[in-house]
Amino acid sequence: MSERESLRVAGETGSIDVSGLPSTVFGHRALTWWGTLGYMAAEGTTLIVCAVAYLYLQRNFATWPPRGTPLPSLSAATIQVVLMTASIPVMIWTARASRRFDLGRIRLGMVLSSVFALAFCVLRWFELQSLHTRWDTNAYGSAVWAILFAHATLLVVQFFEGATLAAMLFLGPVEPKHFADVDDSCLYWYFMTGAWFVLYLLVFISPRVWG
């Protein structure tokens, strides 16, 4: 019988001693995982609202993008998609290392994550240029800038969090909870990149298909 099962059985009849339970766990067992999930839910909803605005405002225009505004260029955004796809195996590798308490590998993983996140932020600047419109040109411009900016906040947060965590891992002192933090950071990474794949289809591909 596992320790958890024996504690469950003991609790139905009398007092229980939990001193033997671990203090560092990963994934859905940990509180911070749930906190990260909550943050993702709120941020995800924010992105959905931006997407809803984009789709709703589309109804007010005969063509989309509006006449006189070229289609958004694909190069920067596509490079972004490729780079994000390439980053995912690295983050999976980092997450696995964190669950094995492998300090050397998660240090490397978090440095790579910071470099990736910085590259995403730089690419976002070029993506904004590739929209060929400004936020104050018309409602189309407002909607696409809002989507890219809302998602950029995720990139900036991830860069900031990843770089801080990397610095903590090098400068120390390193506590076991930091391994779980790295694991959660990877979870957030999957959300951040996954969200961009959807938004890329919406902003850069859908006007080519239905515009």
Q: Name the residue nearer to other proteins (CB basis): 34 or 197.
A: 34
Q: How near is the Cβ of 195 to other proteins at its closest, in Å?
A: 13
Residues 10-29, mask of contacts with other proteins (x by CB under 8 A): -xxxxxxxxxxxxxxx--xx
Work out whether 170 is an interface residue with other proteins (CB under 8 A): no
Q: Name the residue nearer to other proteins (CB basis): 85 or 164.
A: 164
Work out whether 108 is an interface residue with other proteins (CB under 8 A): no
Q: Name the residue nearer to other proteins (CB basis): 24 or 129.
A: 24
User: Which pair of structure tokens corresponds to residue 101?
Assistant: 């308490």
Which of these, 29, 30, 19, 18, lies nearest to 7 by C-alpha position?
18
Work out whether 139 is an interface residue with other proteins (CB under 8 A): yes
| CA 60 to centroid of chain Cα atoms | 32
- What secondary structure letter does DSSP report for 14? S
ω into residue 173 within 30 of 0, thus cis?
Answer: yes
- What secondary structure letter does DSSP report for 111? H
The Cα-based distances of 25 to 37, 160, 168, 183 in angstroms read 16, 24, 20, 10
Which of these, 124, 147, 152, lies nearest to 135 by C-alpha position?
147
Work out whether 85 is an interface residue with other proteins (CB under 8 A): no
Q: How many CB atoms are located within 10 Å of the residue 78 CB?
A: 15
Which residues in this chain contact other proteins in the complex, by CB under 8 A? 4-5, 7-8, 11-25, 28-31, 34-35, 38-39, 41-43, 45-46, 49-50, 52-53, 56-57, 60-61, 66, 100-104, 135-143, 145-146, 150, 156, 160, 164, 168, 172-179
